[in-house]
Amino acid sequence: MIDGGDNSSIIRMFHVHKHYGSKKALINATLDIHRNEFVFICGPSGAGKTTLLKLLYLGDKVSAGQIIVDGINLSRIPRKRIPFLRRKFGIIFQDYKLISTKTVFENIALVLEVTRNTRRFIEKKVKSVLRTVGMEGRINAYPPSLSGGEQQRVAVARAVVGDPKVILADEPTGNLDAESSHIIFDFLNQFYNRGATVVIATHDLNLVRKTKKSVIHLNQGQIVA
């Protein structure tokens, strides 16, 4: 059951622990996220939100427990299949992780280049996604010349450009004003409406309350509700 599992779930965690030395970042986390679910992971700073997301795309390994993503048991995945796993995800990192020596266009195009798309398709797609996040005017800029909120919007564009099955967003509105936050949230919601699974880590309880989506509460490494 642990290998294939219930096909309605895209992410399952079973009794997952993550320790960094003596620090327990995640304690006995068990959860189930369905295909095409929109879920928030909420909790105060240090609760383990980023840690939880990281374990899903093998940005780090669990200390104990098991994780199944789209039927793949992460503890048994051969190294050469990790890129295949990662392509299921569009990830908005808390610190953006844009490449500072590449332009906005190049940062986003990279995602599409690994899967053999034509130049023409890539240009069209990158421009269109930048337009939706209001960043088309900065297509040739380098990330260090952008404000925090602008970098965040580019990071959102990069996460969605490949039409991933699952969008993992770590504080995607952390650096945005209320209006821009709303635009980004609506944008992510469109992917949900088209069938993607969206997982957002945040401490923005206002956003969570307003949107009436499911919520997983984390506190000091434990799922509390």
Q: Which residues bind Mg ion (CB under 5 A)?
A: 49-50, 94
Token pair recorded at residue 91: 């990830």
* Cα gap 176→149, rounded to integer Å: 5
Number of residues that bind ligand ATP (CB under 6 A): 13
Give the type of residue at 196: A
Does position 208 interact with ligand ATP (CB under 6 A)? The reply is: no
Q: Which is nearer to ligand ATP, 104 or 216 (CB)?
A: 216
Which position among 12, 49, 88, 125 is part of the footprint of ligand ATP (CB under 6 A)? 49
Does position 107 interact with ligand ATP (CB under 6 A)? The reply is: no
Q: Which is nearer to ligand ATP, 51 or 181 (CB)?
A: 51
Does position 23 interact with ligand ATP (CB under 6 A)? The reply is: yes
Q: Which is nearer to ligand ATP, 2 or 205 (CB)?
A: 205
Geometric angle at alpha carbon 183, from 177 and 186, rounded to 5°: 135
- Do 41 and 199 contact (CB within 8 A), yes or no? yes
Helix (H) or strand (E) holding 110: helix 104-113
* Cα gap 179→207, rounded to integer Å: 12
* Least Å from the CB of residue 125 to ligand ATP: 31
Site string for ligand ATP, 142-161 (x = CB under 6 A): --------------------
Residue 75's binding partner among ligand ATP, Mg ion, none (Cβ under 5 to 8 angstroms by kind) is none
Q: Which is nearer to ligand ATP, 55 or 166 (CB)?
A: 55
Query: What interhelical angle do 104-113 and 119-132 show, nearest 10?
Result: 130
Q: Which is nearer to ligand ATP, 162 or 171 (CB)?
A: 171
Choose among 124, 153, 146, 50: nearest CA to 94: 50
Residue 126's binding partner among ligand ATP, Mg ion, none (Cβ under 5 to 8 angstroms by kind) is none
Beta-bridged to residue 69, according to DSSP, are 11, 72
Does position 199 interact with ligand ATP (CB under 6 A)? The reply is: no
Backbone dihedral region for residue 169 (phi beyond 0: left; psi -120 to 50: alpha; all else: beta)? beta
Catalog residues that contact ligand ATP under the rule CB under 6 A: 20, 23, 25, 43, 45-51, 94, 203
